[in-house]
Amino acid sequence: MTGASGDPTARPGSKLLASAVALLSRRDFSRAELRRRLLRRAQPQASEVEVEQVLDLVQAQGLQSEDRFTQEFIRARAARFGPVRLRHELLRRGVDADRIDAALSARQGDELASAQALWHKRFKSPATDLRERARQARFLAARGFSHDVIRRVLACD
């Protein structure tokens, strides 16, 4: 029943496939995110097996890629957030920890530069007292930068 013509309406679960393609045409999703959205859209008429088949199909066709999603997610947010926060958000989106570590290790040298640029954009001048220094450190920590990087940024101010 899987038509060789490539017509998505010729396959079982074609509404799920059409929904998956429509979602992926707007932006990349992790497999777990896409699974949740498809299950929400097709609750009564689709089983989890059908959703998994559709996910396998879109992944085999290259429409969904965990690596591409991870790389794009990190690239889009690396200027505003540190690796701790990026790791947490990717884990929350269902990306495998090993895949996250591999993607973040490729950008490891950028952490200090990103933190310095973010600090300079926000504060522009060094802290004058301990209270202001703590506020600046909390700002960087909340964005997911490591304590070592925060210490280096505030020492360079």
pLDDT tens digit sequence for 11-35 = 546 888 999 999 999 999 999 999 9
Looking at the structure, tell me whether residues 51 and 91 fall in a common domain.
Answer: no
Buried b (16+ CB within 10 A) or exposed e, 20-54: bbebbeeebbbbebbbeebeebbeeebeeebbebb
2 belongs to a structural domain: no
Looking at the structure, tell me whether residues 86 and 24 fall in a common domain.
Answer: no
Evaluate whether 104 touches 95 at the Cβ level (below 8 Å).
Answer: no
Looking at the structure, tell me whether residues 33 and 80 fall in a common domain.
Answer: no
Looking at the structure, tell me whether residues 52 and 75 fall in a common domain.
Answer: no
Query: Average model confidence (pLDDT) for the chain?
Result: 87
Domain that holds residue 99: 65-157
Looking at the structure, tell me whether residues 47 and 94 fall in a common domain.
Answer: no
Looking at the structure, tell me whether residues 74 and 58 fall in a common domain.
Answer: no
Give the end of a domain, one of 45, 64, 83. Answer: 64
**Chain mean position to CA 118:** 20
Q: How confident is the model at residue 73 (pLDDT cuts 50, 70, 90)?
A: very high
For residue 2 the two structure tokens come to: 């899987």
Least confident piece of the model among 35-39, 68-72, 106-110 = 106-110
Looking at the structure, tell me whether residues 113 and 142 fall in a common domain.
Answer: yes
3-state helix, strand and coil shares in percent for the chain, rounded to the nearest 5: 70, 0, 30
Residue 150 has pLDDT above 60, yes or no: yes
The pLDDT, as a whole number, for residue 44 is 67
What's the pTM value of the predicted model, to 2 decimals? 0.79
126 belongs to a structural domain: yes
Looking at the structure, tell me whether residues 78 and 139 fall in a common domain.
Answer: yes
Residue 124 has pLDDT above 80, yes or no: yes
Looking at the structure, tell me whether residues 78 and 147 fall in a common domain.
Answer: yes
The pLDDT, as a whole number, for residue 43 is 63
Looking at the structure, tell me whether residues 60 and 73 fall in a common domain.
Answer: no
Q: Mean per-residue pLDDT for 55-72? A: 94
The pLDDT, as a whole number, for residue 106 is 79
Looking at the structure, tell me whether residues 88 and 136 fall in a common domain.
Answer: yes
Give the domain CATH number at 16.
Answer: 1.10.10
3 belongs to a structural domain: no
Q: Which residue has the tokens 């802290």?
A: 127
Number of domains present in the structure of the chain: 2
pLDDT tens digit sequence for 102-111 = 999 877 767 8
Looking at the structure, tell me whether residues 19 and 69 fall in a common domain.
Answer: no
